[in-house]
A and B are shown apart, each in its own frame.
Chain A
Amino acid sequence: MFKKIIEAEIIENKKIAEGIYRMAVKAPETAADARAGQFVNIYLRNKIMLLPRPISISRVYDDVITLIYKIAGKGTGELSAYLPGEPVRISTSLGNGFQLEDVFKETDSNHNLNKVKIIALVGGGMGVAPLVGLAQKIMNEKEKRSFKDDDLQVIAIVGFQDEPILMKEFETCCNHVYIATESGSTGLKGNVLQLIERKGLKPDYCFACGPRPMLKALANRCENANIPLQVSLEERMGCGYGACVGCVCRIKAKEEGVKSIRKKVCTDGPVFFGNEVVWDD
């Protein structure tokens, strides 16, 4: 199947917090093979803004996908004015997405997980958007495998400046939701790493999305504690589909004789293993 740019129909475009919106669009071709952690390119109406805006797919319901976005500039400002019923030009799903298979690969003869009893979804700011979809996917997977909470628990560890978002969504798909805010208005006053520390949280597997300093600190912590971690990285993009080589990050090389190579966040990522990323590039 060819990748495509499609005209999707806006079902909803609603403010969910100060400066933050949720857009639901009917996009069967995007929804068909969307994985948690993938993103779409949004092609704006104002042609002066040439480049597409990459936005993570938050959730998928049948042929509808939801996008959670923050007004960060002119492009996202334009998006916030779109009305239900109007078309929006988006791509089919892009990027690799979270590799949930990695959690389920090591099962014993009874198909039970050997090592992973607690999965943590660690999100900072807008980084929580794709984790909601992942939480939903894991819940479905648990049902499919008839796992009880004794077999596998999912906890969300999320941090915000001030106002938490998507709390209801996390609460319906996770066993526990831990919150930190910089302002102290909700949950612990501080960041997600302090939250993990303070609550003594000991996950066996982590998925994370958020600001780079948060991801870097988490990667450090997970590496020391020998916890597998997948991170979703963000980088300034040109094309968003692998043609321009604008969006690179540095990844430790597997080949002999080379220390590291630059890989494309949009097609090789945005999800990488925490321990393969060279954080100080």
Chain B
Amino acid sequence: MIKNINDKLYHAELDLSVSIAGVTLKNPVTTASGTFSARESGAFYDISELGAVITKGVSDVPWDGNPTPRIAETYGGMLNSVGLQNPGVEDFIKHELPLLKSYNTKVIVNVVGKTINDYCKTVEKLDDEAIDIMEINISCPNIKEGGISFGADPKMAAEITREIKRLVKKPIIMKLTPNVTDITEIAKAAEYEGADGVSLINTLLGMKIDVHRKKPVLWNKTGGLSGPSIKPVAIRMVYQVRRAVNIPIIGLGGIMTGEDAAEFLMAGADAVSVGTAALVDPTAPVRIKNELIAFMQQNEYKNLQQIRDALA
């Protein structure tokens, strides 16, 4: 377990808190969806150290995901084709949520679906639960539109935001896919329809071939690329979206260190998520938080806004 580097001492001079969609996180470090589980991650560190946890994607009914292999290592990154396997929203509410609520941290639930109706059913069930925010993963393929992702088209992104916003009282954050020509168009559409924030980026679509066995490494052939190799793409997108919308941004994609987290804040993010780094080092979210604190001290930042304003 990583010990909090004396929270009290720092609290006197450092303010790590940030408000996202009306919810105050005590620090900006969260877990990226699909790379965190309360029981398994909680075996390595105290989850209460984090500003918020973002859960694995949950759907209205259980999803089986893809056959294996689902994971491939790439140069400075990894591909996954888990296929959003999850036991469904009811199982989540019964088994995972009570455990998450036992920690002193905010709970952000990631929601996935195959149709707008799927998403609606899930968010309605979650709206009555003791969660703080919903993060809507719109990178999923829309099966009614031939499998093109909801987040790939501003019209679809607008429609899904509007439908969900009509149903729920809880704040919603739209999680954007980077597999688009202009991500600012999607972010603007989400903001226009009332999204309380955006998070970016999801994984980049990729592929790896085993040249000796002459076949794709993943059963699914293609998968989502994540890890340090995607960070420059993510930074560029956060920077662009910050200049296109006013709602809060959760920035992620390849954050491995506290300086990486600071880079996202400087690009315009309000909070950050740690994904692949937590697979590579189970205690990464807490380590990164502590490194961010050290970075702020060394560079005499008193709060996150000062980092966000620092870019020349």
Contact = CB atoms under 8 A, between A and B. Distances in A.
Interface of A: 2-5, 43, 48-52, 91, 235-239, 241-249, 261-262, 267, 281
Contacts of A4: 1, 44
A5 to B, nearest CB: 7
Contact of B282 (A237, A239, A246, A281): A239
Given A242-B40, A245-B56, A236 B69 contact: yes
A243 B85 contact: no
B65 A248 contact: yes
B70 A2 contact: no
Nearest to A249: B68
Contacts of B307: none
B219 to A, nearest CB: 10
Given A50-B227, A246-B71, A241 B281 contact: no
A239 B279 CA distance: 4
Contact of B67 (A52, A267, A281): A281
A244 B65 contact: no
Contact of B78 (A2, A50, A247, A261): A50
Contact of B280 (A50, A235, A236, A242): A50
Quick one: which of A49, A51, A244, A261 has the most chain B CB within 10 A?
A244
Interface string B34-66: 111101110111000000000010000010110
Contacts of A262: 64-65, 85
Interface of B: 1, 34-37, 39-41, 43-45, 56, 62, 64-65, 67-73, 75-78, 80, 82, 85, 227-228, 276, 278-283
Given A51-B78, A235-B68, A238-B71, 18 more contacts: A2-B44, A3-B282, A5-B282, A91-B282, A236-B71, A238-B70, A239-B278, A241-B44, A243-B278, A245-B85, A246-B71, A247-B70, A247-B71, A248-B65, A248-B68, A248-B70, A262-B65, A267-B40
B68 A236 contact: yes
Interface of B (DSSP majority class)? loop
Given A49-B73, A50-B73, A50-B76, A243 B64 contact: no
A194 to B, nearest CB: 27
Contacts of B68: 235-236, 246-249
A247 B80 CA distance: 11
B71 A51 contact: yes
Nearest 4 pairs between A and B by C-beta? A242-B40, A246-B71, A239-B279, A2-B1
B276 A50 contact: yes
Contact of B85 (A91, A248, A281): A248
24 contacts: A2-B1, A3-B43, A4-B44, A43-B281, A50-B73, A50-B77, A51-B279, A235-B69, A236-B70, A238-B70, A238-B71, A239-B280, A241-B40, A241-B43, A242-B40, A243-B279, A243-B282, A244-B82, A244-B279, A245-B34, A245-B56, A247-B68, A267-B40, A281-B67
A27 to B, nearest CB: 16
Contacts of A242: 37, 39-40
Contacts of A281: 67
Quick one: which of B70, B72, B78 has the most chain A CB within 10 A?
B70
